[in-house]
Copies of this chain bind each other. A is one copy, B any other.
Amino acid sequence: MKTQEIGQSGMVASRLALGVMRIDALDETAATRTVAAAAESGIDYFDTADIYGFNAHALHASSRVFGQAWKNAGLERDRIFIQTKFGIDFGYDEQGRGAAHGYDFSAKHLLDALDGELEALQTDYVDAVLLHRIDTLFELDEVAEAFDKLESSGKVRHFGVSNMGPWQIELLQSGLKQKLEINQLQFGLMHTQMLDAEIHFNMADDAAADRTGGILPYSRLKHMTIQAWCPFQSNTEFGPFVGNAHFPELNAELERLAAKYESTPNGIAVAWILRHPAGIQPLLGSMNPDRIRDMAAGADVELDRRDWWSLYQAAGNQLV
């Protein structure tokens, strides 16, 4: 699989990453098989978060399953990248219902969360940690204290954010010694707000209403890698769009291009993201080994410009 540098971190990682949010729904054997399939496909970057465990109804649960799985799969720690996220104050009630109580970038919350992750992940460091969602109550010196401790203790090698815009990043960066290398944002053929507002700039239509503050050009300017979460989501009640009869036009185009490029619809949907010059790293959310292999194969497809724009339109978007 092709590789890319993540931000300016020196980490040279696979173009695709595996997001293990749903791995807590698998038993140990299945989880090991999933992680092994990803690794065999060339994926060496794995993303988790302290709050993942929505099936097990427990914090750190996905990281715990993944922590056993990468060991079982025989992966070597220094040949893979493990990334986690923290900063959401999340909990489960007695009925097992999870909910965010808010966000929390206090040093104590961040440090405790990271320690919990290391234990669950069966490792003594993570390659990267991201602030999961902005905590508007954050004190810059608390974040700086946490990052400094995490870096100097060797527990975290690189830092980043998730779901944040330019001025928020400018503010955080102004108080941190560590460069923010990553911004994890939802992006995919059916979640293109970053593009829509660019293309419809200064128009009166809905697509022109800015929801991302210029984060796409900003990220390129600052050499931050965008990681695309839920890249296959339709953002409707109907779930992922590939092979989904509710999205006939998009799937027809995915099929056409799968044939043209000798790939699969899943592969084409991945290739569409990789084609963007921002160097976006999709996080595959599938736990299905076959689907992971299909998607990973998409990393070798280089779409023509017109096919790229044709897919954008087939997803329901208008050019102007």
Binding site for B on A (CB under 8 A): 89, 100-104, 106, 133-134, 136-140, 163-168, 170-171, 174, 185-186, 191, 193-195, 197-204, 208-218, 220-221, 235, 275-277, 305-306, 308-310, 312, 319-320
Contact = CB atoms under 8 A, between A and B. Distances in A.
Interface centre among A200, A210, A217, A319 (most CB of B within 10 A): A217
A319 to B, nearest CB: 5
10 contacts: A102-B308, A102-B309, A102-B319, A106-B305, A136-B276, A167-B221, A168-B198, A170-B221, A186-B202, A203-B211
Given A102-B309, A213-B213, A276 B203 contact: no
Contact of A89 (B140, B197, B305): B305
Contacts of A140: 220
Nearest to A104: B305
Identical copies in the complex: 3
A205 to B, nearest CB: 9
Given A102-B319, A209-B211, A235-B204, A277 B167 contact: no
A276 B306 contact: no
A90 to B, nearest CB: 10
Nearest to A318: B100
A189 to B, nearest CB: 14
| 5 nearest A-B residue pairs (beta carbon) | A102-B309, A167-B214, A171-B217, A167-B217, A208-B211
A319 B136 CA distance: 12
Given A201-B212, A202-B212, A217 B170 contact: yes
